[in-house]
A = this chain, B = another copy of it.
């Protein structure tokens, strides 16, 4: 259920909450198939999310039930594609999501060939024909005209169990760039995010925005590294929205 204190000022489930439900679902689904982080940590490997696109007919409202279904529809050597469907009690669709994941070696941070893990066990769980009718996460293209918006510090509450800034937390921070009037008068139809590198506690996050066409805004996040002072791209987002 979209419990009321996980909902926003419009009584809609927070997208960040939904996003963390998706990460949790991926975790359970892969662990139950023997290729989740519980096993991978024993062989010094882990999953990292590379891209995510969430597309919504509408967001669940407070007290509405929702179901989150996930499946893998495609495996390449270095990438796995995971889909999501968000539905209600009557199987009406709230929305879909698509995500791309890579497996890395936790010591070298290098990509791992998925087909080399547990005798390609992952290929047994591919459901290619189960429909997820939204566009794949695309490249988010921005010009050099993106406008600097603000810089924020990273805090304890930004971190996940790995000590990285939680992948979904960027969504919260991006949505916080838009003011309350905007949130009251707009509905987000699609949110996509392409991850470049992880950020850590102490990094400063810098936000740059570019309006592409009416109803579409791209946001680039860079980090100023605590130790080096270097400015490095962390991720890029593209939001598509409508006026209510």
Contacts and interface: CB of A to CB of B under 8 A. Distances in A.
Interface of A: 3-11, 14, 16, 20, 23-24, 27, 62, 155-157, 159-163, 166, 168, 172, 175-176, 178-180, 183, 201-202
Number of copies: 2
Given A16-B157, A175-B157, A183-B156, A27 B4 contact: yes
B157 A176 contact: yes
Contact of A161 (B11, B179, B180): B11
Where chain A touches its partner, the secondary structure class is loop
Nearest to A25: B3
B172 A201 contact: no
Task: Select the residue from A7, A62, A161 with max chain B CB neighbours within 10 A.
Answer: A161
A5 B168 contact: yes
B201 A180 contact: yes
A232 to B, nearest CB: 20
Contact of A7 (B11, B161, B175, B183): B161
A15 to B, nearest CB: 10
A97 to B, nearest CB: 15
Nearest to A202: B180
A65 to B, nearest CB: 13
B16 A4 contact: no
